[in-house]
Amino acid sequence: MNSSQNNHKDITALALNSAVWIKKNLSTFYLICGIVVGSILLIIAFYYRNTTLTLRSEERLSVAQSMLYSDKPEDGVKILDEIITSYANTAASFRASIIKAQHLSDTGNYKDAEDILIKLLVSPKPKELEQFAFPLLIKVQENAGKYKEAIYNYNDFLKKFPNSYLVPSMLQDLAMLYEIADMPKEAKTTYEKITMQFPATNWSAKAQQRLVTISGTVPDQKVVEQKQ
């Protein structure tokens, strides 16, 4: 008898044994079937609900953004608040908070915009979205003249997201803020870091121009290459 025949015999025996067990334990069998079917239905319902909620939140975000630039921006803010509350700890809620903070910043309400963003960064959130709140918070703090706080958050961002595509622009903005805050030594160090980490780029070229203005010197390219 070959292995195929053995397998067929085993399957047949299993089926017969199962049929005998089911016949003797009908109530238990029906209970198990009910649990399995119920679980499948719950999974389908959960997936459908999440999909529906996601689509609905995206639609409402779009509507809210449009209203912010209409003659009734307060209605847009109201929708954003509803999304933040109804979809707490989701990407939709996070985006709604970002949009609201941006709107408040655009209208000069830096205090409320900063409060929203700080709260957002210390609350549970999708990790991949966190890095987009930092630049807005920093710009809000810069516009409010809170340079010390902005500098801290620049460095915090660079520490948390060293591989982000935003790093070169954040370094450049940080260096410029150091200049504004009358911290030329820190500005020079940051510009030099740009030339070392991003040689042969527009970021490096702009940094070298600023270094000439600050100190009249440019990092030795050989030194830069050695440090790479």
Give the pLDDT confidence of 39-53 residue by residue, as tens digits: 554 554 444 344 444
**Structural domain includes residue 213:** yes
**Structural domain includes residue 60:** no
Q: Is the pTM value of this prediction over 0.85?
A: no
* Neighbouring residues of 160: CB distance < 8 A, sequence distance ≥ 6: 130, 131
Whether 185 and 213 map to the same domain: the answer is yes
Q: How far apart are CA 2 and CA 25, in angstroms?
A: 35
What is the structure's pLDDT at 73?
A: 87
Query: Is it the case that residue 20 has pLDDT exceeding 50?
Result: yes
Whether 131 and 169 map to the same domain: the answer is no
What is the structure's pLDDT at 67?
A: 86
What is the structure's pLDDT at 166?
A: 93
Query: Is it the case that residue 58 has pLDDT exceeding 60?
Result: yes
Whether 135 and 169 map to the same domain: the answer is no
What is the structure's pLDDT at 185?
A: 93
Which tokens is 180 given? 């504004």
Q: How far is CA 187 from CA 27, 73, 218, 224, in A?
A: 77, 39, 13, 17
**Structural domain includes residue 183:** yes
Query: Which of 146, 173, 200 lies at the terminal end of a domain, its last residue?
Result: 146
**Structural domain includes residue 62:** no
- Give the mean pLDDT of 124-142: 84
Whether 108 and 142 map to the same domain: the answer is yes
**Structural domain includes residue 46:** no
Whether 190 and 130 map to the same domain: the answer is no
**Structural domain includes residue 25:** no
Whether 77 and 119 map to the same domain: the answer is yes
What is the structure's pLDDT at 22?
A: 64
**Structural domain includes residue 173:** yes
Whether 171 and 142 map to the same domain: the answer is no
Give the pLDDT confidence of 69-106 residue by residue, as tens digits: 888 889 889 989 988 888 877 888 888 999 999 999 99
| 144 vs 50: which has the higher pLDDT | 144
Domain span including residue 118 = 68-146
- Looking at the structure of the chain, the number of domains it has is 2
Question: Which pLDDT band, with edges at 50, 70 and 90, does 3 fall under?
Answer: low
**Structural domain includes residue 221:** yes
